[in-house]
Amino acid sequence: MSATTITIFVFLAFVYYGFRVARKERERQNIYDFKSKDTGTAGTSNSGPQPSTPKKKPVLKPSATKPKSKPNIREVNSAGPKQSKAENIKSQKPHFESHEDAGKYGEDLVRTELKRLKSLRIINGYTKSKNMVVDNQYFEFDFLVMVPNFELVIAEVKYFAGEVFCTKEGKWRQVKTDRDGKQRESETTNASKQVLRARALLKKILKARNLDNWTIKPLVVFTHPDAKIQKGKNEKKPEADMVLLSGLEKFISELRKKDNAPFTQVDFDNISSAIKAHNKEYSRTN
């Protein structure tokens, strides 16, 4: 065999080997491209496969015709089933450590209402006393209210719950339901006699300063939301008027008006000054 024949044979062998290598590389590349379509990865160059980036999850948009479902109240509200309006108000009632705290809370409710009535010009003003003394007798009143074209209303505030049986004499009777659901009956202060006594002693103070020329109407205001007033009739009817806090505005608006009431703001200021002058702390004697 000549040298030329051998050279041709070797050349053809290299060509054939190169063809086989190129074919296998194309087959490997086709297989990788096929897999990349299934997995979402990109094709590669001869340097090998590149690291793929994570595919973002598609955001599902709600259908325009399908309404959004309402949330389950029992699941959303950790406090349990939704309460009715009455149950919600009842659950928010304040609890007090003492009767004194309850009384102060009731007075705050009346003060807030009087501020509102003053802004509406239903009343001209009001004042409140501390402990007062006259003729060695201690007393106090909750509010003294100046009513346009009427004169004065002296108010005693009570935060009594349940049914309150109000009479002219003796103690009042109170029937209320405790937290355990049992009804309990007890005697309580006769607020009518209390406010009448305060009015009588206040008149003594005003008379000493020639400020006792006007009507002072006694009133008991019940501020507890569960209070129910049962007034005695005929000879048992209390002398002072009774009203719930919710009816205070109507009560004052319907007071008998006087055409030429001489009572002025100056008179009211003088009365307030006389009250402050008689304020005195309680003293205890052995």
The single residue listed with the structure tokens 């690291």 is: 51
Give the residue extent of every domain in the chain: 98-277
Q: Is the pTM above the cut of 0.75?
A: no
Residue type, 83: Q
Residues 37-60 pLDDT 10s = 444 444 444 444 555 555 555 555
Q: What is the pLDDT of residue 285?
A: 44
What region does 40 belong to: left with phi over 0, alpha with psi -120 to 50, or beta?
left
Number of other residues whose CB lies within 10 A of the CB of residue 2: 7
Per-residue pLDDT band for 71 (boundaries 50, 70, 90) equals very low
- Whole-angstrom Cα distance, residue 263 to residue 261? 5
**DSSP H or E run through 188:** strand 183-188
At residue 192, the 3 state secondary structure works out as helix
